[in-house]
Amino acid sequence: MTAGRAILFRLATSTRLERAARAAPLGERLAWRAASRYVVGTTAEAAARAARELRARGVGSSIDQFGELVRDTATARRVAASYLELADQVNALPADTWLSIDLSHLGLDVDPRGCADHLAAIAARLSAGRRIQVGAEDFSRADAVLACIETVARQGLAGRLGATAPANFRRTPRDLERLVAAGVHIRLVKGAYVEPGGRALPFGEPTDLAYLRLAHRLAETRADFALATHDGLLREALLAALGPRPVEQLLGVRPAMADELVARGVPVRVYVPFGNDWFRYWMRRLAESRGA
């Protein structure tokens, strides 16, 4: 990982930077101009329009309402209520429209049991065939995220859940065994968080090789999984070896590739985020573009 990329990741979690940038004259406007490539807008209606437009191109979507690191149960309850409303809206959209969420947005850090209850309620609210994809967070939350997913899957909701597996985490091979046993959909990512060497592989060849090995292992288990990467070499090598596996992309990143993959018969889903808390997400996209 380049020094510039590591610095950007630290800045992406800086509340002070966000406040300063958005308070500066024209600062928020200029930042939004750059961020709007990756963010559909600030409302659920904007996300719904994007989902319909993607469907017209043969592309599925996964809608996320920005937010993370909730520190009190009252806020977590409000977030859960908003996701229940969002689930109702998603049920009215094309059938391949899903939801996405980070569990720290549902209060994972302050009330793990309540977080599982919220996740179960949202998953149950979705109509058959849809899922709510749980995002990967930093290494320190990996145990809690995995436990929450397993708890909800055991309630007969495995078919409405998705999990995210970061290939760079050294623990992921073991975690995959549990996720496969839970019967949830798995999206395999390289991993976005900067972690110490004892916890995660370096970016570059070590993570790329881990990604290849994990994808083949998932295929051998006949797990339901998607290749969530914009790395063309990795993607094409795995599609050639494993057949037309679903591919997941981020809004605004190589959009023409989605059309090309669809034309080749490869299912594609695009992550469609919306909301007011877009600044940190934009900074993370900038960080990932450095040395990726």
pLDDT tens figures, 3-40: 555 555 555 555 665 565 556 666 667 776 777 788 89
DSSP assigned state of 201: P
Q: Residues 204, 210: contact at Cβ < 8 Å?
A: no
Which residue would you say has higher pLDDT here, 239 or 31? 239
Closest among 77, 97, 78 to 87, alpha carbons compared: 97
Q: Half-sphere exposure of 30 toward its Cβ, with a 13 Å CA cutoff?
A: 8
pLDDT digits (tens, 9 = 90+) for 74-98: 999 999 999 999 999 999 999 999 9
Class of domain 41-274: alpha beta
Q: Which two tokens stand for residue 45?
A: 């209606």
pLDDT digits (tens, 9 = 90+) for 133-178: 999 999 999 999 999 999 999 999 999 999 999 999 999 999 999 9
Q: Domain residue spans in the chain?
A: 1-39+277-292, 41-274
If you search the block for the tokens 């999990």, which residue do you land on? Answer: 163
**E-only strand ranges, 49-193:** 60-65, 97-101, 132-134, 161-166, 185-189
Cα separation, 55 vs 32, whole angstroms? 25
pLDDT digits (tens, 9 = 90+) for 88-144: 999 999 999 999 999 999 999 999 999 999 999 999 999 999 999 999 999 999 999
C-alpha triplet 87, 89, 95: angle, nearest 5°? 85
Cα 167–chain centre separation: 14
Is pLDDT at 288 greater than 70 in this prediction? Answer: no
3-state secondary structure of 133: strand
Report, as an integer, the average pLDDT of 257-274: 97
Per-residue model confidence (pLDDT) at position 68: 85
DSSP string, 213-278: HHHHHHHHTT--EEEE---HHHHHHHHHHH-S--EEEETTSSHHHHHHHHHTT--EEEEEEESS--
Cα separation, 110 vs 115, whole angstroms? 9
pTM above 0.85, yes or no: yes
Closest among 54, 105, 45 to 75, alpha carbons compared: 105
Please, what is the average pLDDT of the chain? 90
Burial of 239 (0-12, 13-18, 19+ CB in 10 A): middle
Which positions ≥6 away from 56 have C-beta within 8 Å?
Answer: none
Q: Residues 162, 134: contact at Cβ < 8 Å?
A: yes
Cα separation, 96 vs 58, whole angstroms? 10
